[in-house]
Amino acid sequence: MNGRCATKDLLVPLSPVSVTKLTCEYSVTPLGIDTRQPRLSWQLAGAGRNLRQSAYQILGAGSPELLQQASGDCWDSGRINSDRSVQIVYGGAPLASSRRYYWSVRIWDGDNNPSPWSEASWWEMGLLAPADWQAEWITPDLAEDLAVSSPAPLLRTTFAVNGDVRSARLSITSLGLYEAELNGRRVGDLLFTPGWTSYAHRLQYQTYDVTDLLLPGANAAGVTLGDGWYRGFLLWGGKRNHYGDKLGLLFQLRIDYADGRSELVISGPNWKSSTGPILAADLYNGEHYDARLEKPGWSLAAFADDGWAGVTPLAASKEHLVAPVDAGVRRIEEVPARSVTVSPEGETLIDFGQNLVGWVRIRVQGAAGDQLTLRYGEVLDQQGNLYVANLRTAQATDRYILRGGEAEVYEPRFTFHGFRYAGVTGYPGELAPEQIVAVVVHSDMPVTGDFTCSHPLLNQLQHNIRWGQKGNFLDVPTDCPQRDERLGWTADLQVFLRTAIFNMDVAGVITKWLHDLAADQHADGNVPVVIPDPLGMAGSSAWGDAATIVPWTLYQCYDDTRILEQQYASMKGWVDWIHAQTGDALIWNTGFHFGDWLAIEAPDPRWPNPVTENDLLCTAFFAHSTDLLQRTAQVLGKTADAERYGSLLADIKAAFCHEFVSPAGRLSGNSQTAYVLALHFDLLPESERAAAAARLAAEIGRYDNHLTTGFVGTPYLCHVLSRFGYLDLAYTLLEQESYPSWLYAVKLGATTMWERWDSLRPDGSFQTTEMNSFNHYAYGAIGDWLYRVVAGIELDPAAPGYKRMRIEPRPGGSLTWARARYESGYGAIESAWTLTDGHLELTVTIPPNTEATITLPAGLVTEGSRPVAHADGILGVEIMGDRQQITVGSGEYRFRV
């Protein structure tokens, strides 16, 4: 369709601007969605500066041929005078189940010239109503011991394909995990499907295009089931079967023939079941696989299944089936072995050089019955052996029994591990590095950002932050990926989310998680501390506040108003629940709270411990959530709520100051976190903020320029310092190399973020084995400061999604250069600065259809070779004291001060 325009526009010159990168609901061509009014987005491309859109037109059609004729039988938006190019809500005819819709868009540029039509894109609907499911829930008719991990069941059926297949779609879900095959070939490349959700309220199903997997005549389908989160070991103390004790399958294959016929292949009483080579598979404990028990060809039509058992109906609901809103978990990359050695205990140790999440794939040849054992660990102990005490009860061990004969390749299917090292025993012969590789798995999140600078240790810190995110965004954003926990702790996510968004596109993953938060939220508004919630614990400040902070952050970064609409009741419920706890006093001083989790105790016993009182912390977050709720109400046009919560916010601030601030401006507890929260949440009167910032700086100085903050205070610490005139001190903390600091772990060889500031001590000993993860992303929230302050890429809150942005790098410390790149919904934003001979040189890239305000020190500023005020694309220059603000449109700019 590219190059076509409607007849009435034939005499109008086409714009040199083109429309690219069409997406629907954050995906390029999503298959099987159930959003009845999907949102469409695109980007602009073209040479030159100040490229912008003044209007757009979208066509939606049931076939690409109609789009080629510039005709939309489903939707023709007409010309819409708007510069919006993200999150445009579909406004056409109602969408039908299982139907594919094609769409294309053109824009009018700033000179009112139309662009060529974009290339056509598409989305395809899933099953939109429970009645669309003709399949029946079934469970294998096999004897099982529910107290332990049982062999993974195999389910199969046969069916015929009679005619030329035009298309075939498999809609499938399970209680537990599933992996499907058609005619001996795996369906799709997703892992850990259907994913972990609040199963009682939301169970995902996946849709696959399986057209190419069908054969003329006889066909077969096979599905392997695994315990997963549904009934595997979860939490502590050997608990399992949390959501249920029966695995189940719901399978519906729709075959559309070229002659117009359609038929369904569905799960039902005609299916058969058996066990296979997976003797046990558990997320915590690993997999036990006996290759001698494989059933070659079991998912082929010719396989003889006479000895197989049957299946029985399962009483499970189809009412809460939902399509995924994220891209799912996949194998993302592979890491080769760095070295192979033998530990003092005689175990072969493979070092992959990187703490990661996934498993190993190993090539082995030996006799039938030989057993290979693979153990996983993050670090080595002081003697050089694999350290697994911090895994607690998680066995993290895979066992493989060889079938014998030719070389065999093994990797597990229904488990994952957090590790840098693998310990191997039972390997026949000598294990060479090329025989083993680490397979990295996590949620499929395109990389959207990068930060580098002149300080090698800070670059390693950024590396560690990114790998911490990779390891803990596995379907659910978890706290840790290795021990018997791996839960979606709410505070960890809310403090790290802004950093996560810079690093990768997490919109789908977090939207899914928020829907589970709302589902698991208590009827009175109380929010669990982990989501999904198998723990049954709720009511902790800064943890439950994820209900307000997370949707607001998605809105700000992605211009996602719908997430505010969907989560508004949840946000309101949480704030109202807190209000019910405080009553008219508005001081939250009841209940259990984690507080400033893992804050530092004083290193010198003569100093007082910097304890942040829970009452202060809780009330501060009460104010912050109320503030975000008020803003959300304003965005959604809920005027009465906005006024109500605005008034409540003012009262909470007054109560906070009365309760926790002395007449001399000293905060109760006098901790770093206390001052950070009061300043970051704007709880103090303007006249008292400078004094509070000075007290914060003094507290940092009293600890020899070290932080004492925990999970709650650390994410905001450097932001507060740089905001209130202590940029040098923020850089001092950033570059500090001794404990406690971000670079302490880097200096000790960390490749991910640690749970504790001293998970590993300088002498090689460990912190408590009860809670000591070497892959925890919470303290990685400093990445947000690297992007927003060091590199200076900041959104304008009044224009979410980086429609307008602020570029204000703040050089400092020992850095001589820094650069960052972020792929926003509009395109790439780049900021790169260098200090040379007393001059600041700044290169900025602003994507089309956006504007930016660039703040630089006052002085002679040139862009290219011209004074900034006379350079192309400069929309305005304003001097503000010792700074100057330069407004620009899209394009690349090179400034020199």
**Packing angle, helices 727-735 and 714-723, rounded to 10:** 140
Q: Give the residue with greater pLDDT, 664 vs 680.
A: 680
How many angstroms from the chain centroid is the CA of residue 233?
A: 24
Q: Mean of the pLDDT values across residues 619-635?
A: 98
Q: Give the model's confidence band at 858: pLDDT under 50 very low, under 70 low, under 90 confident, else very high.
A: confident
To the nearest 10°, report the CA torsion of 649, 655, 656, 662: 150
Give the residue among 169, 170, 168, 166 at the shortest CA–CA distance from 180.
Answer: 170
Beta strand 31-33 pairing with 121-125:
parallel
At residue 56, the 3 state secondary structure works out as: strand
d(CA 822, CA 808): 15
Write down the catalytic residue from 136, 179, 287, 485: 485
Active site residue 755: yes
pLDDT at 6: 42
pLDDT at 70: 83
Amino acid present at 801: G
d(CA 614, CA 673): 11
Helix (H), strand (E) counts: the chain: 15, 47
Residue found by looking up tokens 């046969």 in the block = 158
- Are 316 and 322 a contacting pair, CB within 8 Å? no
534's tokens? 């198998």
In percent, how much of the chain has pLDDT > 70?
A: 98
Amino acid present at 875: L
Beta strand 839-846 pairing with 891-896:
antiparallel
Residue found by looking up tokens 């489903």 in the block = 74
pLDDT at 745: 98
- pLDDT surpasses 70 at 609: no
Q: What is the chain's Cα-based Rg? A: 29
Mean pLDDT computed over every residue of the chain: 96
- Are 424 and 373 a contacting pair, CB within 8 Å? yes
- pLDDT surpasses 80 at 1: no
71's tokens? 């005709």
> Largest Cα–Cα distance in the chain?
86
Beta strand 397-401 pairing with 286-290:
parallel
- pLDDT surpasses 80 at 610: no
Evaluated on CA atoms 64, 68, 71, 76, the torsion sign reads positive
Q: Give the model's confidence band at 656: pLDDT under 50 very low, under 70 low, under 90 confident, else very high.
A: very high
pLDDT at 505: 98
Continuous H helices in 202-298: 228-231
At residue 561, the 3 state secondary structure works out as: helix
| pLDDT tens track for 309-326 | 999 999 999 999 999 999
| pLDDT tens track for 684-733 | 999 999 999 999 999 999 999 999 999 999 999 999 999 999 999 999 99
- Are 249 and 138 a contacting pair, CB within 8 Å? yes
Which range (190-194, 201-205, 449-453, 858-862) has the least confidence? 858-862
Write down the catalytic residue from 755, 794, 823, 851: 755
d(CA 300, CA 183): 5
| pLDDT tens track for 370-419 | 999 999 999 999 999 999 999 999 999 999 999 999 999 999 999 999 99
Q: Is 50 exposed, middle or buried (0-12, 13-18, 19+ CB in 10 A)?
A: middle
At residue 597, the 3 state secondary structure works out as: coil
H or E element, residue 513: helix 507-520
Amino acid present at 421: Y
Q: Mean of the pLDDT values across residues 611-637?
A: 97
DSSP class per residue in 808-831: -----TT-SEEEEEEEETTEEEEE
The DSSP 8-state label assigned to residue 198 in this structure reads -
To the nearest 10°, report the CA torsion of 512, 514, 520, 523: -140
pLDDT at 2: 43
693's tokens? 């910032």
Evaluated on CA atoms 346, 347, 348, 351, the torsion sign reads negative
Beta strand 408-410 pairing with 379-380:
unpaired
Q: Is 335 exposed, middle or buried (0-12, 13-18, 19+ CB in 10 A)?
A: middle
The DSSP 8-state label assigned to residue 368 in this structure reads T
- pLDDT surpasses 50 at 355: yes
The residue ranges of DSSP E strands in 461-533, in sequence order, are 473-474, 476-477
Residue found by looking up tokens 């310092």 in the block = 721
CB atoms within 10 A of CB 758: 18
- pLDDT surpasses 90 at 659: yes
d(CA 171, CA 191): 16
d(CA 861, CA 865): 10
pLDDT at 873: 86
d(CA 312, CA 299): 20
pLDDT at 474: 98
Residue found by looking up tokens 């200090």 in the block = 835
Give the residue among 624, 631, 732 at the shortest CA–CA distance from 678.
Answer: 624
Residues facing 842 on adjacent strands: 833, 895
d(CA 813, CA 103): 50
Q: Give the model's confidence band at 11: pLDDT under 50 very low, under 70 low, under 90 confident, else very high.
A: low
Which range (4-13, 179-188, 416-425, 464-473) has the least confidence? 4-13
DSSP class per residue in 74-94: SEE---B-----SSEEP-SSP
- pLDDT surpasses 50 at 3: no
d(CA 850, CA 890): 6
- Are 507 and 558 a contacting pair, CB within 8 Å? yes
Q: Give the model's confidence band at 69: pLDDT under 50 very low, under 70 low, under 90 confident, else very high.
A: confident
d(CA 865, CA 199): 62
- pLDDT surpasses 90 at 120: yes
Q: Give the residue with greater pLDDT, 657 vs 882.
A: 657
pLDDT at 865: 86
Evaluated on CA atoms 258, 260, 266, 269, the torsion sign reads negative
pLDDT at 838: 83
742's tokens? 């971000």
- pLDDT surpasses 80 at 604: no
Evaluated on CA atoms 735, 741, 742, 748, the torsion sign reads positive
d(CA 62, CA 99): 8
Which range (77-91, 671-685, 867-881) has the least confidence? 867-881
Active site residue 263: no
H or E element, residue 846: strand 839-846
- Are 124 and 41 a contacting pair, CB within 8 Å? no
Which range (357-371, 497-511, 514-528, 754-768) has the least confidence? 754-768
- Are 255 and 127 a contacting pair, CB within 8 Å? no
d(CA 744, CA 208): 46
Q: What's the per-residue H, E or C state across 27-82? A: ECCCEEECCCCCEEEEEEECCCCCCCEEEEEEEEECCHHHHHCCCCCCEECCCECC
How many angstroms from the chain centroid is the CA of residue 875?
A: 36
d(CA 791, CA 451): 8
Q: Mean of the pLDDT values across residues 260-273?
A: 98
pLDDT at 8: 44
3-state helix, strand, coil in the chain (%, to 5): 25, 30, 45
d(CA 73, CA 61): 5
Of the CA atoms within 13 Å of residue 85, those in its CB half-sphere come to: 32
